[in-house]
Amino acid sequence: MWRYIGRKLGIYGITFVVAVTINWMIPRFMPGDPVRSMLSRASVSDPEALERMTAYYNEVFGLDTPLHQQYFAFWAGLFRGDLGVSVWLYPEPVVDIILRHVPFTLGLLLPAIILSWIIGNRLGAFAARSKVLDNTVLPIGYILTATPYMWLALLLAWALGVVGGFFPTAGGYSFALTPSWTWGFFTNLVSHWFLPFLSMFVVALGGWAIGMRNMIIYELEADYSNYLQALGAPRRLIRRYAFRNAMLPQITGLAVQLGTIIAGALLTEVVFNYPGLGTLILNSLNNNDFFLLQGIFLFVVVGVLIANFIIDIVYVLVDPRTRVRMTGGAS
Amino acid sequence: MTDVPGTPGTADPGTTGAGGERRTSETLYYARRNPKLLIGASIVLLLLGIGLIGPLFIDHGPNQYIGPQSTPPSGEYWLGTTSFGQDVWAQFVHGLRSTFLTGTLGGGIAFLIGTTVGFVAGYKGGIVDEILNMLTNVVLVLPGMVVLIVAVAYLDVRGLVVQALFIGLTSWPWAARAVRSQTLSLASRDYVDLARLSGRRTWRIITSELAPNMSSYLVMSFILLFGGAVLIAAGLDFIGLGPAGGVSLGLMLESAVAWSALQLGLWWWFIPPGAGITLLVGSMYILNVGLDEVFNPKLREL
């Protein structure tokens, strides 16, 4: 078990190094002078400020030092928690801006991922091998996984927001309010949160339902299911065993799907102008704020790695085979 | 876009072999009677037809300001016009064309990389396998879309081909994994050993012994990669990283949102592009399930 976790940690470590290296390489090896193109497109009008910013970014990039020194300087800055200073909101450090937006993204992602996973799995298990349900859940599930996240978000915003008027369609909370621990602010926050959450939840649901349905069918073909059936075990019991076995690949699937779901969250946020990382990415793109963009990239990568690690640990805890090996039993 | 739709490794690669002709007719027999395959394939072909032939019947460019502004769908403008007076139908038709192109290119590149890595890793084994597997795992864990956003943001010239290339470079890992595990189960068969004993080159063995025996599996992986590439491209276009000055379904969504079609109630501007993507990718997935049922006797409904 420790070997397993150690190997996983090794892969995550390498992934992190690769991500940082990509981050370091892209501005330096893409054609053009990164500092000049960034600042010229960022439309800074005050010449004195422009000069100061140019000097600052030239120093940060350190383009006149040898490549390997630039690379190590980049790592050193990273360990100091220094991701540079934003161009868009000039004197503010990138880390502060990102930290302000992360809670909104997490607040959308975690409930959407967890609820869609649980409910989707139940739905898929329920639908497997029952003709009527299978013929409805399966096509709907495929259509849902094929739906671009932003399109469903647009449809919901239009139907329930603009036309229906049930929910607000933009922002994380009303501009008239200041964040505070009051009931009024909380309900306002929830009403803004609901539509983005719903659209993410619905799109993600389809994939889990389909995956579970396929796995259950596969498990019901297995010897142990046939054996139980031959013994005359009730249908419910066989299904329960099949469900528990089918859960394991679904947990791995969660790790595999994370990247897609996060991308979906970013797109959904853009539609609703929700103040999370997605909207921040859009703003940094529009303002050519590459420092902010790269900071967000690192944050997302680290988040994905942590989530992957948590999923690995859950997998070990849930799967009895790895558990047995851990306590030293025969494998 | 990954392992969810359709194929959780249930395709049994070993059942091919004797009687190729009889098998083909049997496959055709089941293919003709599989509603999922038929429905999926006909929708995909219909959309492909619209994308290929549609632009020929439209004599103005998709981004030209030709008509009255913000008119709902009518006989003259089938899908209405945007708030600048652009023909939505013309944009949709051209968009479908470029969607097929990105899907084929991006999915194709991902397919090439994925299958090559998978075959080599599964067949060679040992240290090659370790290294390739490590590479696959690293790319698998990296959130592809975010990498793409950062990489594409630095590009000055954004074209459809470059976009497809980048998508291909980031979305191959799960295919490599799937192909690798299939190859592992095939590599120890007798006929592969025989081929190896007779001194054939690795590449020949992969292309003439291994690949034909999992062709159904490969076709299905390509379909999934195609769908994934289409969705990723739409996402990139939507946040403004699409091909500059081009037309695509994702760019249509982007401009609809940018010019507040939602608030103005111009539903004909943002519903068709999303519906096109959903219909295309969804019917591809359903087609895939159909193929799976045709190729894999275990899944056939009797």
CB contact under 8 A, A208 and B10: no
Mean pLDDT score, A224-241:
87
CB contact under 8 A, A169 and B262: yes
* Lowest mean pLDDT across A47-51, B54-58, B111-115, B139-143: A47-51
Q: Contact B2/B221 with Cβ under 8 angstroms? A: no
| Closest CB to A15 among B141, B151, B282 | B141
Angle, CA of A86, A200 and A174, to the nearest 5°: 60
In terms of CA atoms, which chain B residue is nearest residue A138?
B286
Query: Can you name the CATH fold of A94-286?
Result: MetI-like fold (1.10.3720)
The pLDDT-based confidence of A138 (bands split at 50, 70, 90) is confident
In terms of CA atoms, which chain B residue is nearest residue A147?
B278
CB contact under 8 A, B265 and A162: yes
Judged by a CB distance cut-off of 8 A, whether residue B128 touches chain A is no
Within 8 A by CB and 6+ apart from A64, the residues are none
CB contact under 8 A, B156 and A155: no
CB contact under 8 A, B278 and A297: no
Question: Taking the domains of chain A in order of start, what are their residue ranges?
Answer: 94-286
Q: Contact B233/B250 with Cβ under 8 angstroms? A: yes
Residues 4-23 of B with CB under 8 A from A: 4-6, 8, 10
Within 8 A by CB and 6+ apart from A27, the residues are A34, A61, A290, A294, B154
Residue B298 to residue B289: CA distance in whole angstroms: 13
B299 to chain A: which residues are within 8 Å by CB? 217
Q: At what angle do helices B88-124 and B160-170 cross, to 10 degrees?
A: 40
Judged by a CB distance cut-off of 8 A, whether residue B264 touches chain A is no
B223 to chain A: which residues are within 8 Å by CB? none
Mean pLDDT score, B71-79:
72
A134 to chain B: which residues are within 8 Å by CB? none
Residue B138 backbone dihedrals phi, psi, to 5 degrees: -65, -50
CB contact under 8 A, B298 and A300: no
Judged by a CB distance cut-off of 8 A, whether residue A114 touches chain B is no
Q: At what angle do helices B126-141 and A2-29 cross, to 10 degrees?
A: 70
pLDDT at B106: 92
CB contact under 8 A, A308 and B147: no
The pLDDT-based confidence of B4 (bands split at 50, 70, 90) is very low
What pLDDT digit, counting tens, does each position of A185-195 carry? 788 888 888 88
Q: Which of B44, B99, B239, B288 to mutate to test the interface with A (most CBs of A within 10 A)?
A: B239
CB contact under 8 A, A297 and B134: no
Q: In whole angstroms, how large is the CA radius of gyration of chain B?
A: 22
Closest to B131 in 3D by CA, of B144, B117, B141: B117
| Predicted structure pTM score | 0.85
| Closest CB to B143 among A145, A290, A301 | A301
Residue B86 backbone dihedrals phi, psi, to 5 degrees: -90, 150
A27 to chain B: which residues are within 8 Å by CB? 154
Percent of chain B surpassing pLDDT 90: 14
Residue A305 to residue A321: CA distance in whole angstroms: 24
CB contact under 8 A, B257 and A154: yes
pLDDT at A326: 56
What pLDDT digit, counting tens, does each position of B88-142 carry? 888 888 888 889 999 999 999 999 999 999 888 888 878 888 888 888 888 888 8
Which of residues A204 and B157 earns the better pLDDT score? Answer: A204
CB contact under 8 A, A150 and B253: yes
Mean pLDDT score, A209-221:
85
Residues 117-176 of A with CB under 8 A from B: 138-139, 142-143, 145-152, 154-155, 157-158, 161-163, 169
What pLDDT digit, counting tens, does each position of A276-316 carry? 888 888 888 877 777 788 888 888 888 888 998 888 888 88
- Residues, chain B: 302
Closest to B279 in 3D by CA, of A120, A158, A139, A265: A139
Collapsing DSSP to helix, strand or coil, B165 comes out as helix
In terms of CA atoms, which chain B residue is nearest residue A257?
B2
Minimum distance, in Å, between the CA of residue B262 and any CA atom of chain A: 6
Judged by a CB distance cut-off of 8 A, whether residue B141 touches chain A is yes
Residue B211 has pLDDT above 50, yes or no: yes
What pLDDT digit, counting tens, does each position of A99-129 carry? 888 888 898 899 999 999 999 998 888 887 7
Residue B241 to residue B155: CA distance in whole angstroms: 9
Judged by a CB distance cut-off of 8 A, whether residue B154 touches chain A is yes
In terms of CA atoms, which chain B residue is nearest residue A286?
B240
Q: Contact A228/A202 with Cβ under 8 angstroms? A: no
Within 8 A by CB and 6+ apart from A115, the residues are A201
The pLDDT-based confidence of B18 (bands split at 50, 70, 90) is very low
Judged by a CB distance cut-off of 8 A, whether residue A257 touches chain B is yes
Residue A310 backbone dihedrals phi, psi, to 5 degrees: -60, -45
pLDDT at B1: 39
Complete domains list, chain B, with CATH:
79-299 (1.10.3720.10)
A146 to chain B: which residues are within 8 Å by CB? 227, 231, 277-282, 284-285
A262 to chain B: which residues are within 8 Å by CB? 143, 145-146
Judged by a CB distance cut-off of 8 A, whether residue A202 touches chain B is no
